[in-house]
Amino acid sequence: MTRALPTAAGSPNAKHRSAIQTAFIRRTAHAIERLAAQADEATLVEAMSAPTDVGTLARVLVDVGAIDSAVAEIDADAVDLAAEIQHRANIMRRAGGTLSADEVGKLLNISRQAVDKRRRSNRLLAIRQGGDWLYPRAQFHEHETIPGLPEVIQDCAESGPWVTLEFLVTEDDALGGLSPRAALLKGGELRDSVATLLRGQSSGEGFA
């Protein structure tokens, strides 16, 4: 963990950091050093198995936050936030990761401009990360989007892309234990069942 700071300071962009960026890095690096000191070896080993660096940090935060009541009492929101980051990492893992806009264009055999156009018209699901749009793999099957994808994106639009993705890849008893993605791929009555779930979700006034 302590290697992170020298590496960051030595990065090509280090000279161009603003004062707030530098302060942010110092403060968070200090927190990471404390986390490394507090967590036991098993926790660190488990955290290092996360597929992303953000996932690694989230796992340690959740674990140490749960153990260290001082952290939890002083900054309970931080522990909750870390748990949410870990949950989002789990959703993304179940979604099979993401593709860039260029990769989506190649997969669907369409131009980069056509990818952007589909995203803007709610026919592709994308998550903004930094300045880029990332496209979860779960919305694709072979060289096409899964059937009914635009309806899913449209009906979940008010809740945002993360809720949409969680809906798409999470098993549901109302679908016989299948995820909406799997149900849409199977088609037939299951596709109607997904449409019913979406109606219930958007109206949100009855019991499903």
Residues that bind other proteins (CB under 8 A): 84, 87, 91, 158-160, 162-163, 166-167, 170-174, 196, 199-201, 203-208
Nearer to other proteins, 36 or 83 (CB): 83
Pairing of strands 144-145, 140-141: antiparallel
Alpha helices by DSSP H, listed for the chain, are 4-9, 19-38, 41-48, 53-67, 69-74, 76-94, 101-108, 112-120, 149-155, 161-169, 180-186, 189-203
Nearer to other proteins, 139 or 179 (CB): 179
Nearer to other proteins, 39 or 183 (CB): 183
Nearer to other proteins, 103 or 172 (CB): 172
Instruction: State in angstroms the smallest separation of the CB of 18 from other proteins.
Output: 30
CA distance 87 to 83: 6
User: Is the distance from CB of 106 to CB of 99 less than 8 angstroms?
Assistant: no
User: Tokens 């109302």, residue?
Assistant: 174
Instruction: State in angstroms the smallest separation of the CB of 201 from other proteins.
Output: 8
Instruction: State in angstroms the smallest separation of the CB of 176 from other proteins.
Output: 13
Nearer to other proteins, 84 or 102 (CB): 84
CA distance 158 to 156: 6
Instruction: State in angstroms the smallest separation of the CB of 207 from other proteins.
Output: 4
User: Is the distance from CB of 106 to CB of 142 less than 8 angstroms?
Assistant: no
Phi then psi for residue 141, to 5 deg, are -140, 120
- Go through the chain and tell me how many residues it has: 208
CA distance 142 to 82: 34
Nearer to other proteins, 91 or 108 (CB): 91
The angle formed by the CA atoms of residues 93, 184 and 151, to the nearest 5 degrees, is: 95
Instruction: State in angstroms the smallest separation of the CB of 200 from other proteins.
Output: 5
Instruction: State in angstroms the smallest separation of the CB of 199 from other proteins.
Output: 5
